């Protein structure tokens, strides 16, 4: 079976400062995969890079063996909640309807089917009665539910979610997890950046452990073990130094060539 995502030797640097180094990974289709690691490990950078939202220095990513340009309509990206201006004068229903823009096409008005999908998604995340509420009036957890509903109406095959559980209460976290499980049952592939290792071990099929480089990838019960977690969360400074030296050597060799 072709993996949902193949990442080959992906390296990302900002102003010659290494952020990710030589990432290789194959993420299976139809499963829920967590990306975990300490703050500054490059988790969001990896997600944005494979989607083509930020450039990478080397390597590439394929989706079902194709480039992002060929399959973009089959992929849904849910960024961090902090990346959105929640004071913008727009209501919940309008935000969720934005998830239908690609299907509707430019300047086209929502059809009855689009409105039905929006209502269904809001019902799924428990916000149907909030459809006309201004987004600025919502709590952080409710805003995260709106984001999830917007992703759901895209009806994509692959969902990449940057910290979907950040800033939510226990009830919202449980609701989001139930939605992800139902998406998996429907054959969807979900990749989420997450910080709660216990939650990852209980609800996720796979885990990619990052700390500027790939520390480990595999089934959660195989990789969430003390030695691997110690390496992931303990050696950040030494890894940064090591990668910086490698980049410097590579740049010197390039100049010599």
Residue 247 has pLDDT above 50, yes or no: no
State the pLDDT confidence band at 244, using cuts at 50, 70 and 90.
very low
pLDDT score, position 104: 65
Residues contacting 41, CB < 8 A, separation 6+? 210, 211, 212, 232, 236
pLDDT band at 203 (very low <50, low <70, confident <90, very high): very high
pLDDT of residue 33: 98
Q: How far apart are CA 68 and CA 48, in angstroms?
A: 12
Q: What is the pLDDT of residue 160?
A: 97
Average pLDDT, the chain: 87
- Domain 5-256 coded CATH 2.40.50.220: no
Say yes or no to pLDDT of 253 above 80.
no
Structural domain spans, the chain: 5-256
Residue 72: what pLDDT?
92
CA dist 178 and 176 (Å) reads 5
Give the pLDDT of residue 10: 96
Interval 132-166: pLDDT, tens: 999 889 988 888 899 899 999 998 999 999 999 98
Q: In the structure encoding, which two tokens stand for residue 176, read together?
A: 């989001």
Identify the residue whose tokens are 């895209």. Answer: 154
Q: Read off the pLDDT of residues 71-117 as tens digits, 9 standing for 90 and up.
A: 999 999 998 877 777 778 889 999 999 888 776 665 578 888 888 99
């Amino acid at each position: 079976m072709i993996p949902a995502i193949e990442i080959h030797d992906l390296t990302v640097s900002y102003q010659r400062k290494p952020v990710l180094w030589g990432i290789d990974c194959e993420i299976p289709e139809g499963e829920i995969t967590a990306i975990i690691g300490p703050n500054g490990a490059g988790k969001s950078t990896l997600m944005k890079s494979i989607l083509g939202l930020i450039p990478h220095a080397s390597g590439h990513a394929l989706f079902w063996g194709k480039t992002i340009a060929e399959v973009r309509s089959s992929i849904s990206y849910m960024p961090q909640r902090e990346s959105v201006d929640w004071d913008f004068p727009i209501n919940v229903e309008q935000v969720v309807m934005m998830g239908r823009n690609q299907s509707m096409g430019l300047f086209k008005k929502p059809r009855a089917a689009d409105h039905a999908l929006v209502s269904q998604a809001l019902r799924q995340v428990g916000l149907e009665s909030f459809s006309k509420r201004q987004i600025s009036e919502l709590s952080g957890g409710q805003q995260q539910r709106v984001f999830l509903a917007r992703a759901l109406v895209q009806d994509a095959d692959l969902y990449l979610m940057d910290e979907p559980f950040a800033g939510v209460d226990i009830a919202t976290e449980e609701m989001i997890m139930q939605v992800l499980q139902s998406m998996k049952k429907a054959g969807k592939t979900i990749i989420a950046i997450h910080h709660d290792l216990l939650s990852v071990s209980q609800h996720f099929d796979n885990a990619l452990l990052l700390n500027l480089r790939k520390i480990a990838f595999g089934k959660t019960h195989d990789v969430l073990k003390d030695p691997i977690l110690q390496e992931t969360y303990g050696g950040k400074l030494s890894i940064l130094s090591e990668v910086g030296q490698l980049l410097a050597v590579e740049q010197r060799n390039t100049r010599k060539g």
